């Protein structure tokens, strides 16, 4: 664990920063040909930086009105359990609360074993009444 200070700033990660974080947290290989456009189409992005290096990121995708999806929340393993992820989620949720004029839906897919982290922010597993599903196309 590091004691280095960090700051969270509003800006998208670069394709390389995104790839580095994606792979560091064990999500496999990222398709960098798609990454640039995906990041550019985000509703909102932020990164956590320590000593000039991006150590964390988070994005919101969706329609920017009623539906928001928290995406790509990742923190380098050596900076996990220091509150970086918590601050990223809080800032993403603050953005949504500031920009959603009425009832809105905020979704996310939690990495395996991270359910309890997201439950602290009010996210719930709504099964069996509702089931989160997704389809991966191409490959």
Residue 134 near residue 109, CB atoms below 8 Å:
yes
Residue 88 near residue 56, CB atoms below 8 Å:
yes
CA distance 34 to 86: 27
Let me know if 6 is a catalytic residue: no
Active-site residue, selected from the candidate residues 6, 44, 68, 118 = 118
CA distance 108 to 93: 12
* Residue 14 DSSP label: P
Given strand 53-62, what is the order of strands in its sheet? 7-9, 44-50, 53-62, 67-75, 105-107
Provide the pairing of β-strand 44-50 with 7-9: antiparallel
The residues that are catalytic are 118
């Amino acid at each position: 664990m590091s004691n280095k200070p960090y700051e969270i700033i509003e800006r998208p990660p670069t394709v390389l920063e995104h790839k580095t974080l994606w792979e560091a947290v064990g999500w496999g290989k990222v398709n960098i040909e798609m990454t640039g456009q995906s990041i550019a189409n985000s509703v909102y992005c932020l990164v956590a930086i320590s000593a000039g290096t991006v150590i964390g990121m988070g994005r919101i995708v969706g329609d920017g009105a009623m539906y928001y999806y928290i995406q790509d929340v990742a923190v380098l393993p050596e900076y996990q359990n220091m509150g970086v992820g918590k601050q990223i989620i809080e800032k993403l949720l603050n953005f949504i609360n500031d920009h959603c004029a009425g009832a809105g839906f905020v979704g996310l897919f939690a990495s395996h074993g991270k359910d309890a982290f997201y439950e602290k922010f009010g996210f719930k597993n709504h099964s069996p009444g509702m089931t989160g599903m997704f389809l991966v196309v191409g490959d």
